[in-house]
Amino acid sequence: MNSEYFMNLERQYGANNYESLEVVLSKGEGVWVWNVEGIQFMDMLSAYSAINHGHRHPKITKALKDQIDRLTLTSRAFFNDKLPLFTEKICKFTGKEMFLPMNTGAEGVETAIKCMRKWGYEVKGIEPETGEIIVFEENFHGRTTTIISFSTDPGSHDHFGPFTPGFKIVPYNDTEAVEKAINDRTIGILIEPIQGEAGVNVPDEGYLTKLQKICRKHKILFACDEIQTGFGRTGKRFCFDHEGLDPDIIIMGKALGGGVYPVSGVAANKDILGLIKKGQHGSTFGGNPLACVAGITAIDVLQEEKLIENSATQGTYFMKLLKQLEGNSKVEKVRGKGLLIGVVIKQSAGPAKGYVKKLRDEGLICKETHDTIIRFAPPLVITKDQIDWAFSKIQKVLGD
């Protein structure tokens, strides 16, 4: 049973909802993965930043194994002895007063939307069922029906209607457009500090600060989707830390599960999350003991092993190397923060997908986005020597 066998089997029985790179992985450790034939590759995607801690981090996997032998699921019909510890850990890590746990990133965003609307009607006094949340062009917050209602990506949006109302879409990196969009029905702003799926779209320095000031001025909520950018990915605890901000709502997921379990949630103060009453929101699996142990240990490892600091150091180094390729016959621009980096391929050099396949053949796996951008986001445990190795492959494929 080789790679072709597994790929053909999935093509036969699986829904055709992903265009996967043709590599069949069966083992991982740290920054490395192996396919079913035993060929080694460096992981430069980290499951879209869900594997910040590296594949199979020993402390995280041990904690999960130990918990499996004790208790896995209770639902929220009962208390368990891990959720209280998890909520305390998150609140101390974020500086917020409350945390509501869910499973997937999209569920975290849906939770934030519900919390924002409840606050808008019960605190701000907007007429119920009329509130608007400002969102941004090229956003990616998930694929539920409500979330794709405010997507500007035709692949995510088209032919899935009718759509959920209550969202106003404005250009990204444009504060004037935000100011013009605000009216007496505006509840708040929902934003990705860096748009990952849009191709690591980094806004101007100070843009997020201006948005927070606008929110304070108009007494509306400022919600940051840190699902992909959180937990050290950009070289800070959260991406909004680069500008010293304090969002009203922090949405998190991906790396919170330590690369082994889906964990997400929303952190906010009691004036927002305290509005959710018994029975108004929840999840059978949200806050289960396994998820809580994964989240607790993921944060412990992040802090104990100084992975945030390593992301900043290695990200700066990696960006410096990649910038050497800017302006050659293939690379138009390199952008990013920490270890979330996008390399924009020139239109004249052909689609990014072809270069992604060449990089795979050199032992480095990554993924294109929006046809012309290659995203590099290795696990935060990566070393300088490993970056040097990766860049030698990248230079071979993308250099002149």
Which residues are tagged catalytic?
Answer: 140, 225, 254
Q: List, in order, residues 6 or more apart from 288 with CB less than 8 Å away.
A: 72, 73, 74, 75, 80
* Sheet (strand 373-376) strand order: 331-337, 340-345, 373-376, 367-369
Q: Tell me the backbone φ, ψ of residue 284, rounded to 5 degrees.
A: -60, -45
Closest CA to 236 of 316, 342, 312: 312
C-alpha separations of 1 from 35, 36, 40, 163, 236 in Å: 12, 8, 18, 44, 43
Report d(CA 191, CA 277) in Å as an integer: 26
Report d(CA 67, CA 59) in Å as an integer: 12
Burial class of residue 178 (count of CB atoms within 10 Å of its CB; 0-12, 13-18, 19+): buried
Helices (H), the chain: 3-13, 46-49, 58-68, 83-94, 105-119, 145-148, 154-157, 175-181, 207-218, 270-273, 289-304, 307-323, 352-361, 384-398
Q: Dihedral of CA 181/123/208/377: which sign?
A: negative
Q: Is there a cis peptide before residue 379, judged by omega within 30 degrees of 0?
A: no
Tell me if 222 sits within 8 A of 215, measured CB to CB. Answer: yes
Rounded to the nearest 5 degrees, what angle is found at the Cα of 303, between the Cα atoms of 380 and 205? 65
CB atoms within 10 A of CB 261: 21
Secondary structure element (H or E) that encloses residue 203, with its range: none
Q: Which long-range contacts (CB under 8 A, 24 or more apart) does 33-37 make?
A: 33/365, 35/3, 36/1, 36/2, 36/3, 36/6, 37/2, 37/3
Tell me if 365 sits within 8 A of 33, measured CB to CB. Answer: yes
Rounded to the nearest 5 degrees, what angle is found at the Cα of 395, between the Cα atoms of 25 and 374? 55
